[in-house]
Structure 1
Amino acid sequence: MEAIRNVLVTDAQGQASSRYRLVASSEWDDIRQWSDRIYMPYSVAPTGRPRRPDSVLDATRIGHFTLSRFKYGIPVHISDFSPAAGTGMVLTTLRGTARHWTEPNAFADTGVGDAFVVDNSRTHYWVDFDENHLQINLTFEHDALAALHERWFGRPADESLWTKKFRLGGANSSWISLLAYVCNCTTEMPDAIGGSPLGRHLEEMIGIHLLTQWRAQLDQPSQATLHRMAPRHVLAAERHIREHAHLAPTLSELARASGVSVRTLTGAFREYRGCTPMDTLREQRLQGVRAELLLAGKGTTVRTVAAAWGYVNLGLFAAVYKQRFGELPSQTLGIRN
């Protein structure tokens, strides 16, 4: 993940670089001026109380793809993507979480290393990003990807293919490996990735990988999570969990933050989320630890990361972590280092 984490903001010598910086601003109009160009026109609004963004956008071209690194710095809801732009996106989560809405009552969540694919010129889509989000995105031109499909697969893609929206990737997936290679090339050979042979090579690799994944969705589509509109106290508890998970709040604290009793809150979570508030908190903490381990710098230990998320018994934590992710936290840290 290091190559992905550092792309567009460090040079080949590992020094900080602003070569690809397009905007760093807290003004919505400044951000929109560039986001409309790099992605497409869309509507964005802060989630919760009104806040000014702390946004940074870096980007470069790889063939017809645009590789970008983007954050708003606050929780946001994004919708009304313009189909007239003729573009789509592959959004890979580098930090934080995102909820990608595929229908009014269905979504797919992405954490660190997960990606989501959507052709905004052919289907509707909206997304919620949390406060800590950081995305490595690839914007593609529909016509270019459609031509690539016809050239490699011998016929035009069925129109239904482009309406499929789906999650792919994961920390050890082929998508992350490919993206890391693309990012390494971008960092090490920045002048050779535009329209050069290397740039065309990367463009073909990315395109074929995405199209292969896309075609598989016709036979075995990913299942979205069905969502029922939860009452306000459930949403308040979820917000408190997102903002304070590292402090390991108690069930009573969650109930107080939600303005209801423990019994009411627990019952609502079971009805609308199919789990308890503490199940949700446990998952948020484990995902937080995993994200930090995957992005950790040299010298970081499992103990220090676990302690920062409120885990005191390291042995018990390691057992719970392995049960959830299929590997020990030390193995996750080893992937990074």
Structure 2
Amino acid sequence: MSHQSGTVFQGSDPDELAAVLSTPRSPIVVEPLGKGPLAFHGEFFSAGPVTFGHCAYEGDIRCKRLAGGQRLLVFLPLDGDALFEVGGNELHSTPGRATIVDGARNTHGRLYGNRRHLTAFIDNDRLTALLTSLIERPVGDNLDFRPHLDLGAGAGLTLMQLVETAYRGLQGSAPLRRAPLALGALGDAIAHLLLEAVPHRYSDELARPPALPAPRHVKWAIEFMQAHLSDPITIADIAVAARVSVRTLQEGFRRFRTTTPMAYLQELRLAAVHRELTDGPPTVTVADVALRWGFTHLGRFAAEYKKRFGQLPSQTLRNGSDVGR
């Protein structure tokens, strides 16, 4: 969708609701629970990497996500109950606390009675890009956020206020529709608030004091890695490019990147594999991509990939291929 584009929906047909909630990558099936009446209405606004919305439902329904997406789903309940099933766990969503769901995991939801909620759906790529800039090293998009946040005070109350401001500022001819820079800053403020206030996989690392500026030889080493990601380079090659000894290079990465040079190189290569599996043509295979980026032991590669991205490389490839269908 284009910047600040909007979708208004209203009706009683489950298939129509499924079409509104689905994306090409992450289709959703909607099923009524019982024989009671069903009605729904709402509005979504896509603002670059963040989509804001307000949804209202009458009746009991089940929403089944058929494939994982690439967004973090933040639900801010106003009325009514919902239950989300994520990775075998149930998350009860009620007014007073946000429910945070990783859309990359196949999520089923059940809505009961009269349910209203605000939403903020944030692209995982944007979250990982912001986090990478904060901790100055590549990170995976399996951030593993704590699923609930109190909306009555502190960061939760601020989150509710920011999402309300964004949603209201996009309705009709409201001013945010004509202020893309302000809207982008508001979206980033919400993303930063989640990263800094909600516990997740990298919270401890984010809470550490900022690293000292990296010396030139560490920057030269990283530039050399990025320029030769698919080449069979060694730590000695990197040290030569950085104009220091291997020992000095290792100490520089330990002090300024809290890792080793080869581990940093592997992080960069895993990110490259992820991009290619996500965006590549349907004819590509996991083995071809892994070998192209220097991963020769496919079993070990698959385990490292899942640890970082929360899914097997074959799942990323399948979900990415679904986009073009």
TM-score (norm. length: structure 2): 0.53
CA–CA separation in structure 2 for the residues paired with 1:114 and 1:194: 31
Check conservation: 2:6, 2:46, Cα contact below 8 A. Answer: no
CA–CA separation in structure 2 for the residues paired with 1:205 and 1:28: 35
Check conservation: 1:185, 1:193, Cα contact below 8 A. Answer: no
Is 1:192 aligned with 2:173?
A: no
CA–CA separation in structure 1 for the residues paired with 2:167 and 2:151: 21
CA–CA separation in structure 2 for the residues paired with 1:141 and 1:61: 11
> Paired residue for 1:101, among 78, 81, 85?
85
CA separation of 1:192/1:170 partners in 2, compared to 1, >3 Å: closer, same or farther? closer
Q: Deviations over 1:194-252 (max 9, x none)?
A: 772211211111111112245446679xxxxxxxxxxxxxxxxxxxxxxxxxxxxxxxx
CA–CA separation in structure 1 for the residues paired with 2:65 and 2:45: 24
Q: Structure 1: which 4+ aligned runs deviate by more than 6 Å?
A: none
CA separation of 1:29/1:145 partners in 2, compared to 1, >3 Å: closer, same or farther? same
Is 1:154 aligned with 2:136?
A: yes
Q: Deviations over 1:77-121 (max 9, x none)?
A: 2223422x42231111110112222343x3232221311112212
Check conservation: 2:76, 2:160, Cα contact below 8 A. Answer: no
Cross-structure match for 2:101: 118
Check conservation: 1:62, 1:193, Cα contact below 8 A. Answer: no
**CA deviation after TM superposition for structure 1 residue 174, in Å:** 1.9
CA separation of 1:192/1:35 partners in 2, compared to 1, >3 Å: closer, same or farther? same
CA separation of 1:80/1:185 partners in 2, compared to 1, >3 Å: closer, same or farther? closer
Note the residue ranges of structure 2 that are not aligned, 5 or more in a row: 205-325
Number of equivalent positions: 197
The residue correspondences of 1:207-218 to structure 2 (distance < 5 A) are 207-216=191-200
The residue correspondences of 1:75-90 to structure 2 (distance < 5 A) are 75-83=60-68, 85-90=69-74
> Paired residue for 2:18, among 12, 25, 32?
32
Check conservation: 2:124, 2:141, Cα contact below 8 A. Answer: no
Is 1:166 aligned with 2:137?
A: no
Cross-structure match for 1:144: 126
CA–CA separation in structure 1 for the residues paired with 2:185 and 2:27: 29
Note the residue ranges of structure 1 that are not aligned, 5 or more in a row: 1-18, 221-337
Is 1:67 aligned with 2:62?
A: no
The residue correspondences of 1:285-324 to structure 2 (distance < 5 A) are none
Question: What is the SS of the residue equivalent to 2:91?
Answer: strand
Once superposed, what is the RMSD of the aligned Cα atoms?
Answer: 3.0
Check conservation: 1:97, 1:110, Cα contact below 8 A. Answer: yes
Cross-structure match for 1:320: none
Name the aligned partner's letter for residue 184 of structure 2: R
Aligned residues: percent identity?
16
CA–CA separation in structure 2 for the residues paired with 1:39 and 1:180: 30
CA–CA separation in structure 2 for the residues paired with 1:39 and 1:193: 27
Larger radius of gyration: 2
TM-score (norm. length: structure 1): 0.51
CA–CA separation in structure 2 for the residues paired with 1:116 and 1:157: 23
Name the aligned partner's letter for residue 118 of structure 2: I
Write 1 or 2 for the structure with the bigger share of strand: 2
Name the aligned partner's letter for residue 66 of structure 1: T
Check conservation: 2:29, 2:63, Cα contact below 8 A. Answer: yes
Is 1:54 aligned with 2:54?
A: no
CA separation of 1:175/1:193 partners in 2, compared to 1, >3 Å: closer, same or farther? farther
**CA deviation after TM superposition for structure 1 residue 134, in Å:** 0.8
